[in-house]
Amino acid sequence: MEGLRRLHTTGCVTSRSHCKASICVLALIQTLSGCVTTQAQPDGSTKVRLSLGAQAQSAQTATLNNFERQEGAALPSVRTTRLAGVFSKHPYDGTAKTYFPRVAVTVTDWARNDCWSATATIWWSMSKSEAVPAFSVCWGQSVGYAVNNAANLHLFMQQTALEHSGNLRTSGPKPPMLAIPDRQPISERQQLAFQGFIQQLVRDTGWQPGAPTNLWLVGYGASTTTQPVRSKAKTQLEQALSCASISKRFDQAEAALRLSGWRPGQGITPVTLTQPLRVHGLTVHKIAVSRDGGEHVYRSFMSGVSLQQVVKAAALQLGKDGRTYGRLTKVGVLSADMEGRDPTLTCTINTEGTEG
């Protein structure tokens, strides 16, 4: 932070941020090296100019009005939604009664360098939630903006949960173990955009450190799908989700998933399909597929039905613990659980020593 503070007061600096965990790598391992000049503007804003080596980046004006102008007309700003200042309006006072609200955010469009789109779920209690439709989060691109908000970014990533869902990332009400997914489908050039998104989200929601994890990213999902799933890919997905068989030509299914926003290595982040699948006789629109390492996971989100209906349809048995449901299949383990309000059916396959 000392290096970051000097960035405001000296001409030329080099500052490097390091992170211990993989959760921070994409956001924080970024070198800023160059000469910084500032100039007061007639409207009261400050213009910041950074020269990087042989290239000079054009000056940016970091004012709230600029942020508003950057936001596209397609989606409302986060500042016009129920998320605006939600944590300022309902501050944490150190007691269990203020563990809520909690906010789970899913990024739906991360292509731009100044604005990302997302949806969210606000949890007012363990049983009461509110969906927030698609909105935009836009941020300043000046060095001054990044420096001024670096501290909150670091504190946000250091959140800890009293109780959590472990590595399972859901829309709540329990937060995951880490506030940020440790696997993210963003490129190296998007690292600063990721940082800007988190910094602005923290500012616009009024988030403050101190409370048990109350704001987290569920992951990266597709806002829309543009093409139907072809018949062969549809069959492959339905068989995998049912834990019946895994095709050696699963690449056709992966190609269909990519059209819905899925990316290899994104972990158990769900995608929504326009064309429904049939899994053990139940209709499924939202699925998650993870084919990383020695374990493959194929998960169906069963909206509109109860957990008991899923258990019956998949012929699952109650476990010895009296709480979990599952059974062995010829390819793996099929199990049912709840994620938020939706029952899920998950096929888990150990691929060590086999071809998946």
- Domain-located, residue 257: yes
What's the whole-model pTM score? 0.49
pLDDT at position 154 = 84
In this prediction, the residues of the chain whose per-residue pLDDT falls under 70 are: 1-74, 141-148, 222-229, 353-356
Of the three residues 200, 220, 240, the one that is the final residue of a domain is 220
Residue type, 257: L
pLDDT at position 303 = 81
209 and 121 in one domain? yes
- Domain-located, residue 356: no
Q: The domain containing residue 281 runs over which residues?
A: 231-350
169 and 265 in one domain? no
How many domains does the chain divide into?
2
- Domain-located, residue 303: yes
How many CA atoms lie within 13 Å of 263's alpha carbon, on the beta-carbon side? 13
As a whole number of angstroms, the longest Cα–Cα distance in the chain is 72
235 and 149 in one domain? no
165 and 236 in one domain? no
- Domain-located, residue 345: yes
- Domain-located, residue 181: yes
326 and 192 in one domain? no
81 and 184 in one domain? yes
Of the three residues 185, 220, 255, the one that is the final residue of a domain is 220
208 and 112 in one domain? yes
237 and 204 in one domain? no
Q: What is the pLDDT of residues 135-178, one digit of tens each?
A: 999 998 666 666 667 787 888 888 888 888 888 888 889 999 99
- Domain-located, residue 202: yes
pLDDT at position 153 = 81
260 and 212 in one domain? no
- Domain-located, residue 225: no
Q: What gap in Å lies between CA 182 and CA 178, rounded to an integer?
A: 8
169 and 267 in one domain? no
Q: What is the pLDDT of residues 217-271, one digit of tens each?
A: 998 876 543 445 678 889 999 999 999 999 888 988 988 888 777 878 778 888 8
pLDDT at position 308 = 95
pLDDT at position 285 = 87
- Domain-located, residue 44: yes
Of the three residues 199, 220, 241, the one that is the final residue of a domain is 220
290 and 200 in one domain? no
Write the CA distances from 164 to 22, 161, 179, 303, 335, integer angstroms: 19, 6, 10, 23, 20
